[in-house]
Chains A and B, each alone.
Chain A
Amino acid sequence: MRIIDYILRLRTGLGYPGKGFIVAGLALLVPLLLMALLAPLISPYDPTKGSRDILQPPGLAHFFGTNNLGQDLFSRILWGGRVVLTVVLVSTILSAAIGVPLGLLSGYLGGRIDRALAMTMDSIYAFPGLILAIALASVLGPSIINAAAAIAVVYIPTYFRMTRGPTLQLKASQYVEAAIATGAPTKRIIFKHILPNLAPTLTVVFTLNTADSILTEAGLSFLGFVVTPPTPDWGFDLKAGQPFLPAGYWWLITFPGIFIILLSLGFGLLGEGLNELLSPKEKAI
Chain B
Amino acid sequence: MGLGRFIAVRALLMIPTILILLTFVFFVMRIIPGDPILAMVGMKAPPQRIEELRHMAGLDKPPYIQYIEYLWNVLHGDLGRSMIWGRRPVINEIMDRFPATLELTISAFTVSVLIGLLTGSIAALRKGSKTDTAMRIYGLIAWTLFIPWFGMMLQIVFGVWLHWLPIAGRIDPDLAPPRITGLYVLDSILTGRWDSLVSAIRYLILPSITLGVVLSGAYTRLVRNNLVEVFGQDYMTTYRAIGLPPRSLLRKALRNAFIPLITMMGLQFAILLAGAVLTETTFSWPGMGTFLLERIIYVDYTTVQGTIVFFALFVALINFIVDIIYAIIDPRVRY
Nearest A-chain residue to B19, judged by Cβ: A123
* A-facing residues in B16-71 (Cβ within 8 Å): 16-17, 20-21, 24-25, 28-30, 32, 34, 36, 39-40, 42
Nearest A-chain residue to B311, judged by Cβ: A131
Count CB-based A-B contacts (< 8 Å).
151
Q: Known contacts A141-B39, A269-B140, A272-B140: does B17 contact A123 (CB below 8 Å)?
A: yes
Interchain CB contact (< 8 A) of A126 among B159, B267, B296: B267
> Is the pair A245, B267 in contact by a Cβ cutoff of 8 Å?
no
> Is the pair A260, B278 in contact by a Cβ cutoff of 8 Å?
no
* B-facing residues in A205-242 (Cβ within 8 Å): 211, 215, 218-219, 222-223, 235, 238-239, 242
Contacts of A153 in B (CB 8 A): 28
Cα distance A246–B225 when bound, in Å? 42
Q: Is B274 in contact with chain A by the CB < 8 A criterion?
A: yes
Cα distance A257–B282 when bound, in Å? 13
* B-facing residues in A124-138 (Cβ within 8 Å): 124, 126-132, 134-136, 138
Q: Is B201 in contact with chain A by the CB < 8 A criterion?
A: no
> Is the pair B140, A265 in contact by a Cβ cutoff of 8 Å?
yes
Cα distance A223–B282 when bound, in Å? 10
Segment at the interface with A among B110-118, B174-182, B240-248, B312-320: B312-320
Q: Is B156 in contact with chain A by the CB < 8 A criterion?
A: yes
Contacts of A211 in B (CB 8 A): 144
Nearest B-chain residue to A253, judged by Cβ: B152
Cα distance A242–B267 when bound, in Å? 31
Residue interface mask B4-23, A partner, CB < 8 A = 1 = 00000000000011001100
Interchain CB contact (< 8 A) of A139 among B16, B28, B141, B281: B28
Q: Is B72 in contact with chain A by the CB < 8 A criterion?
A: no
Nearest B-chain residue to A25, judged by Cβ: B140
Q: Known contacts A248-B156, A257-B152: does B273 contact A128 (CB below 8 Å)?
A: yes
Q: Is A285 in contact with chain B by the CB < 8 A criterion?
A: yes
Distance between B53 CB and nearest chain A CB, rounded to angstroms: 13
Nearest B-chain residue to A143, judged by Cβ: B39
Range class of the A interface residue count: 35 or more
Distance between B220 CB and nearest chain A CB, rounded to angstroms: 13
Cα distance A218–B160 when bound, in Å? 24
Q: Known contacts A119-B17, A129-B274: does B140 contact A238 (CB below 8 Å)?
A: no
Interchain CB contact (< 8 A) of B225 among A127, A128, A223, A285: A285
Distance between A200 CB and nearest chain B CB, rounded to angstroms: 20
Nearest A-chain residue to B152, judged by Cβ: A253
Range class of the B interface residue count: 35 or more
Q: Is A140 in contact with chain B by the CB < 8 A criterion?
A: yes
Nearest B-chain residue to A271, judged by Cβ: B140
Q: Is A264 in contact with chain B by the CB < 8 A criterion?
A: yes
Q: Is A3 in contact with chain B by the CB < 8 A criterion?
A: no
Q: Is A86 in contact with chain B by the CB < 8 A criterion?
A: no
Q: Known contacts A123-B17, A131-B311: does B281 contact A138 (CB below 8 Å)?
A: no
Q: Is B85 in contact with chain A by the CB < 8 A criterion?
A: no
Contacts of A131 in B (CB 8 A): 273-274, 277, 292, 308, 311
Contacts of A218 in B (CB 8 A): 146
> Is the pair A242, B293 in contact by a Cβ cutoff of 8 Å?
no
Contacts of B149 in A (CB 8 A): 238, 253-254, 256-258, 260-261
Cα distance A123–B21 when bound, in Å? 6
Cα distance A139–B273 when bound, in Å? 21
Q: Is B335 in contact with chain A by the CB < 8 A criterion?
A: no
> Is the pair A132, B277 in contact by a Cβ cutoff of 8 Å?
no
Interchain CB contact (< 8 A) of B270 among A127, A248, A256: A127
Residue interface mask B148-167, A partner, CB < 8 A = 1 = 11101101100111000001
Which B residues lie at the A interface, using CB under 8 A?
A: 16-17, 20-21, 24-25, 28-30, 32, 34, 36, 39-40, 42, 140-141, 143-150, 152-153, 155-156, 159-161, 167, 225, 228-229, 266-267, 270-271, 273-275, 277-278, 281-282, 292-293, 296, 304, 308, 311-312, 315-316, 319
25 inter-chain pairs at a CB distance below 8 angstroms, sorted by A residue, are A120-B20, A120-B24, A122-B17, A128-B311, A129-B270, A131-B277, A132-B28, A134-B293, A139-B40, A140-B39, A153-B28, A211-B144, A215-B144, A219-B277, A219-B278, A235-B148, A242-B282, A246-B167, A248-B156, A248-B160, A253-B153, A254-B153, A257-B149, A257-B152, A261-B149
Name the 3 nearest CB pairs between A and B, nearest first: A257-B149, A130-B274, A141-B39
